[in-house]
Amino acid sequence: LSQGLYVQVRRVLHQMLAADIALLLESSPPSTREILWQLSDANQHGEILDELNEEALASVLKMMDAEKLASTAQNMDVDDLAYVLRALPDSVYQDVLQQMQSQDRLRVEEALSYPEGSAGSIMNTDTTTIREDINVEVVLRYLRIKAELPEQTDTLYVVDAHDQLVGDVPLTTLLTVNPNLSVSEVMRSEVSTIVVDKPVQDIANLFGRHDWVSAPVVSAHGILLGRITIDDVVDIIQEQAEHRMMGMAGMDDDEDTFAPILTSTKRRTVWLAINLCAALIAASISNMFEATLAQIATLAVLMTIVPSMGGIAGNQTLALVIRALAVGHINDNNSKVLIAKEAGIGLLNGMLWASVVSGVVYFWKGDWTIAVILAVAMFINMAIGGLAGVCIPLLMKRFNIDPALAGGMALTTVTDVVGLFTFLGMATLVLA
């Protein structure tokens, strides 16, 4: 990005999609990010901001003053505006609000009136509505006068005089029916709606099950408030998936790939602290058997194998159960079947690997007693690991803890403690 290239970069940026520029910004270290932002088309700024992930968004917003932000906000959809403004610190937010015209200020207040994570916070208010007593012919003429429909419109909503939703007419119907029929004759009157305070997680499932492209959002009294479109739902699905994956490693799914070192270090500290506690618990178990370890050093060499295999067996079950919980496979009736199944797999795999390991260790160390103790400890630990892999997420779910976040650490602590305790405990009883 030497000086002579600025003009060229600007030209390339102006031809790119907002989503691609957002990706480019997320892929750039902070200094490059600032230059790219300055060179990009100000008309695209609103769209780009909406496509950025939360942390990259915060870093870009820092480069903008209140005035610029206010003018960018003018061209944005209500749902996108809400996303961007939620990322602002309170003081800046007040500044931005003062720079806006009163009409825009109303839109902002509307956008922020629904709690984050509710249907209202991701809905668009640009619905196209019609009345049921008019003819399709009239609707067609009305649309031609309007000359433009909002993006991703696939359905017109039929409302009564009180904005109550009474039905909908897909564009495909509008195009294929006899224009002399009335709207009430062609509309679908049983419309599935989303109530405005429904959590976004449930909305993603609804779209997936019904193959919707858009769905109307209504108040508790059935008043049409807006619509949710599939592009926002795809974003939610991707965020949820990232959250599960990153959460399993103790990471925040909003973490910016190129966040400053100090910020990232601070964020990861909590998880490392929790792990240190878990590791110290495991160490205190071996500490109970320090005398035995002093007597037979071979035990120290072999003792890490038992928790390791139990942890892997348990983690396999855990991943299966977390997935099953996420897609809704598990209910009160079948959880017992699942526990029995996973315990069975744990027992089988435990037997198999206990035999293999005892063979390997006998071959390596030439000591049958230690080999058998190791095999028994591994068998117990793998069976318990499988069982814990089902029970821990089910229990966490009951207490409203996210198993994708805390499940792995809890499981590893269980298999570490059980593995070390059974192996060293039996060795102490038999050998010491």
Interaction residues for its own copies, span 254-273 (CB under 8 A): 255, 257-258, 261-262, 264-265, 268-269, 271-272
Q: How far is the CB of 189 from its own copies (least distance, A)?
A: 17
Please select the residue that binds its own copies; options are 12, 35, 106, 280, rule is CB under 8 A: 280
Rounded CA-CA distance 162/339 in Å is 52
Q: How far is the CB of 309 from its own copies (least distance, A)?
A: 6
Closer residue to its own copies (CB): 55 or 104? 55
Cβ atoms of residues 222 and 195 within 8 Å: no
Residue ranges in 167-206 that form contacts with its own copies under rule CB under 8 A? 171-172, 174-179
Q: How far is the CB of 133 from its own copies (least distance, A)?
A: 20
Please select the residue that binds its own copies; options are 249, 359, 429, 430, rule is CB under 8 A: 249
Please select the residue that binds its own copies; options are 70, 130, 186, 357, rule is CB under 8 A: 357
Could you identify the residue written with the tokens 């809400």? 82
Cβ atoms of residues 428 and 289 within 8 Å: yes
Please select the residue that binds its own copies; options are 63, 337, 429, 430, rule is CB under 8 A: 337
Strands 155-159 and 129-130: parallel
Rounded CA-CA distance 353/310 in Å is 10
How many positions of this chain bind its own copies (CB under 8 A)?
A: 115
Residue ranges in 56-95 that form contacts with its own copies under rule CB under 8 A? none
Closer residue to its own copies (CB): 163 or 242? 242
Cβ atoms of residues 318 and 346 within 8 Å: no
Cβ atoms within 10 A of the Cβ of 45, count?
22
Residue ranges in 397-426 that form contacts with its own copies under rule CB under 8 A? 416
Closer residue to its own copies (CB): 70 or 413? 413
Please select the residue that binds its own copies; options are 313, 377, 387, 410, rule is CB under 8 A: 313
Cβ atoms of residues 286 and 424 within 8 Å: yes
Could you identify the residue written with the tokens 């009883």? 429
Residue ranges in 5-34 that form contacts with its own copies under rule CB under 8 A? 17, 19-20, 23, 26-29
Please select the residue that binds its own copies; options are 287, 355, 368, 429, rule is CB under 8 A: 287
Q: Which amino acid is at 367?
A: D
Please select the residue that binds its own copies; options are 89, 115, 199, 208, rule is CB under 8 A: 208
Please select the residue that binds its own copies; options are 58, 112, 195, 213, rule is CB under 8 A: 213
Cβ atoms within 10 A of the Cβ of 201, count?
13
Closer residue to its own copies (CB): 70 or 384? 384
Please select the residue that binds its own copies; options are 2, 91, 180, 331, rule is CB under 8 A: 331
Contacts of 247 (CB under 8 A, 6+ apart): 253, 402, 404, 405
Q: Sheet harboring 214-218: ordered strands across?
A: 194-195, 214-218, 224-229
Rounded CA-CA distance 205/199 in Å is 11
Closer residue to its own copies (CB): 39 or 233? 233
The pair of three-digit structure tokens given for residue 318, joined into one six-digit string: 């855990």
CA distances from 290 to 284, 285, 323, 427 (A): 10, 9, 40, 12
Cβ atoms of residues 104 and 71 within 8 Å: no
Please select the residue that binds its own copies; options are 290, 368, 429, 430, rule is CB under 8 A: 290
> According to the binding rule CB under 8 A, does residue 341 interact with its own copies?
yes
